[in-house]
């Protein structure tokens, strides 16, 4: 059963709060954790929320400097 938008929002906020710390760790396991958590969130989203989750993840990863982005260092809404 897919997670509700509220549950997805909470999980995204939690990941985002840990993302900067995880991004600063050079151990590949930290980056694997980010990838795993991102994949789990996408799997937990219902069809109507997949794009929402994907956009938030891209914004968060870009803001943390983990992927190329125009919003590096800016908060995601």
Question: Do 19 and 34 touch, CB atoms closer than 8 A?
Answer: yes
Kindly report the pTM of this predicted structure.
0.84
Structure confidence at residue 7 (pLDDT) = 97
Q: Mind giving me the DSSP string for 7-58?
A: HHHHHHHHHHHHHHHHHH--SHHHHHHHHHHHHHHHHHB-TTTHHHHHHHHH
Structure confidence at residue 41 (pLDDT) = 96
Structure confidence at residue 21 (pLDDT) = 81
- Mean pLDDT per block of 10 residues along the chain (77 residues) reads 95 89 79 90 96 93 82 68
């Amino acid at each position: 059963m897919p997670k509700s938008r509220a549950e997805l929002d909470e999980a995204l906020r939690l990941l985002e709060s840990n993302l900067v710390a995880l991004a600063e760790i050079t151990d590949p396991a930290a980056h694997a954790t980010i990838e795993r958590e991102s994949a789990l969130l996408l799997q937990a989203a219902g069809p109507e929320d997949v794009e929402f989750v994907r956009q938030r993840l891209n914004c968060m990863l870009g803001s943390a400097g983990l992927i190329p982005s125009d919003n590096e260092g800016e908060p995601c809404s």
